[in-house]
Copies of this chain bind each other. A is one copy, B any other.
Amino acid sequence: MSMEEGKQYAYRYPRPALTVDCIVFGLDDEDILKVLLIQRQLPPYKDQWALPGGFVQMDESLEEAARRELQEETGLQDVFLEQLYTFGEPGRDPRDRIVSVAYYALINLTEYNLQAATDARDAAWFPINQLPPLAFDHPQIFERAIARLQGKVRYEPIGFELLPTKFTLTQIQKLYETILGHELDKRNFRKKLLKMDLLIPLDETQQGVAHRAARLYQFDAQKYQQHKKQGFNFEL
């Protein structure tokens, strides 16, 4: 069989359509973890909320497709983005056999140009525990993304992407509690967190708070990269 025949062989198969879907987590200025959703303009699931996404073009990689769709639909760019999982149950889209490669992104909404993302028609941020009904199998994509975050906080300082540059220990604890879905013992959490030696205490405190202003910290970017490479355990 020649190369040309090999090519024919590849062409012979009927093909599912291929899309990307993006689940964007953003931590807002009240430390609430939110997900970015788009209200669908077209059937199926017209007017329902869904993850931003769309068809993969023939000349772009999957990650390029995810970044392009994210920018087109929400204005977001240059975000932390990783592949999550590929969803391909035959009945997941009523139009056709459509397989979707899901990506998840993490951003901080205080520092990001949130306006850009919500300028897009019908885009909105929802707290992760107050999501509207989602189109397609997007509830499953959401569940898997949360599970990934829960796994990741155990061995990566994932807050790095979600928190603002300067943050308090209370903020990082709240973020971990939101992701894990349960409260953590404050003293124990802080002990473990500081033991990781990833945080730089700053000579600054919070501004404009009613209660006693807490010390601000930032991540040690160099140690973070090193830890990320080697992997580590953060037993919670």
Contact = CB atoms under 8 A, between A and B. Distances in A.
B88 A6 contact: no
Given A13-B17, A16-B18, A154-B155, A86 B58 contact: no
Contacts of A43: 1-3, 5-6
A234 B235 CA distance: 9
Please indicate which of the listed interface residues A16, A57, A235 has the most CB atoms of chain B within 10 Å of its own CB.
Answer: A16
Contacts of A2: 43
Please indicate which of the listed interface residues A1, A5, A17, A234 has the most CB atoms of chain B within 10 Å of its own CB.
Answer: A17
Contact of A16 (B44, B56, B90): B56
A147 to B, nearest CB: 10
A9 B151 CA distance: 37
Interface stretch (A70-78, A97-105, A198-206): A97-105
